[in-house]
Amino acid sequence: MLRARLLTALPLAAGVLALIWFAPSTWVSALFALVALLGAWEWVALCGRQTLAVRLLYVSLFAAVLAGLNAAGAAAPAFQEVWGVPALIWWLAVLVLLLAQSRRPDAVLLPPAARMVAGLITLSLAWLGLVAIHTRPDDGAFWLTVLFSLVWGADIGAYFAGHRFGRLRLAPAISPGKTWEGVAGGIVTGLALMVVLMVTGKGLGEAFPSLGWLVPTALIVMAASVVGDLGESVLKRWADVKDSGRLLPGHGGVLDRVDALLAAAPVMATALMQLA
């Protein structure tokens, strides 16, 4: 399993980072849109809508939403205040749902229609967050790399620390395999990767905010990544499936790979508004 995960993750990560740094913003935005559309294809299936016609209709609707957001320039700084704070409120609401669900597995069960609407909102906010970060003048590619490092570091650290030291379950009614020790290991790994990036960036002449901003922001972003991960776990639990799909060997589906980014991206983008 680990070998399959690495063989899938490493080439994908390298390709994504190469595009972030060297491809035009329009290409990167299109890549994120493609990933979001694949996520929408899986999301609607997790809502119990497996027929081809319904899935195509849902993905087409989401494509129209993304096209509208792109045409309106919704990821531009002038519009970020419109969706930035609502994105934080959205994910706080998801956190409340998770807290209720962690105490009683049957506490909340959203109907399929509500889940489908939630998918449109969640995936749209994630796309906006990623594009908003990447299109920042001068430092967009760097901060997007920081975001990925925090999320990927938290995921990798949680995987190994959880397997080695995991005892205290984080949310057994939602995702029995996740532990507090794993979360701690993920935080340490994510912070370590961020420090490496900051040292490297400073050597390349990048200017950074104070540690008083960096560390709390990194912690909040990684906490958001856990919420995104658990949010997708609830969706899969409602659908009674282990993976969102089978596109990525060793990982499952696209949503299984980007679940943490769904929350972390808009949270990071909103935090970076303070540096604009």
- Over residues 42-83, the pLDDT tens digits come to 999 999 877 899 999 999 999 999 999 999 999 998 899 899
| pLDDT level of residue 107 (50, 70, 90 thresholds) | low
Residue 19: name the closest of 181, 122, 141 by CA. 141
Can you give the residue ranges of every domain in the chain?
2-275
| pLDDT level of residue 250 (50, 70, 90 thresholds) | low
Residue 98: name the closest of 247, 245, 269, 235 by CA. 235
> Are the beta carbons of 151 and 221 closer than 8 angstroms?
yes
Residue 38: name the closest of 222, 243, 230, 247 by CA. 247
Q: What are phi and psi of 244, to 5 degrees?
A: -75, -20
Determine whether 113 is exposed, middle or buried from the number of CB atoms within 10 Å of its CB (0-12, 13-18, 19+): exposed
| pLDDT level of residue 33 (50, 70, 90 thresholds) | very high
Mean pLDDT confidence for 237-255: 81
> Are the beta carbons of 133 and 84 closer than 8 angstroms?
no
Under DSSP, the state recorded for 241 is: -
Q: Are strands 169-171 and 175-179 parallel, antiparallel or unpaired?
A: antiparallel
**So what's the pLDDT on residue 62?**
98
**So what's the pLDDT on residue 89?**
97
Average pLDDT value for the chain: 90
